[in-house]
Amino acid sequence: MSWTCPKCERELPWKDFRHYCKRVSLDSLFEGRSEELLLVFDKILAEVADWPKVLISTTPNCIVFYRRTGFLVIRPMKKWLDLKFYSKVQHKEKPVIKSVAAGKKYENHIRLTSLDELKPRIFMYLRESYEGV
């Protein structure tokens, strides 16, 4: 049930879905970033993009993964990738560095700097976010 915006030709969850209506290249978000950060992102992308009904959108600052609503936001920073995901419970344990209430959910952040930090537990968090939205 996705919809394609006639202006930016972006695939979105439904008609009139609020979005950044300008094409932003994924490559531009990784300009000046390390190859390692790109590898970390590619590994996440390879896993999450295969989940059913996932749509991916870029803005000038981040990559947003949607199902019915956004469940994962990845911001490529200079030295790390900031992953923001949502959960029904607060996560106080590492690798989560911040977990704050956002409505009836919690907004959680993880920062990754290398491929060896991308553990299976992180994919469990992302899947939980995907299934919870």
DSSP assignment of 48-83: HTTSTT-EEEE-SS-EEEESSSEEEEEEE-SS-EEE
Query: What is the C-alpha separation between 58 and 84, in angstroms, rounded?
Result: 15
What are the structural domains, with CATH classification, of the chain?
3-132 (3.30.1460)
Say if residue 126's pLDDT is above 90.
Answer: yes
Q: pLDDT band at residue 40, thresholds of 50, 70 and 90?
A: very high
Token pair listed for 69: 């609503």
Using DSSP's 3-state secondary structure scheme, residue 14 falls into coil
Say if residue 109's pLDDT is above 90.
Answer: yes
**Three-class secondary structure assignment of 101-128:** EECCEEEEEEEECCHHHCCHHHHHHHHH
User: Is 95 in contact with 119 (CB distance < 8 Å)?
Assistant: yes
Say if residue 133's pLDDT is above 70.
Answer: no
Q: pLDDT band at residue 125, thresholds of 50, 70 and 90?
A: very high
User: Looking at residue 22, what DSSP letter applies?
Assistant: S
Instruction: Give the global pTM.
Output: 0.86
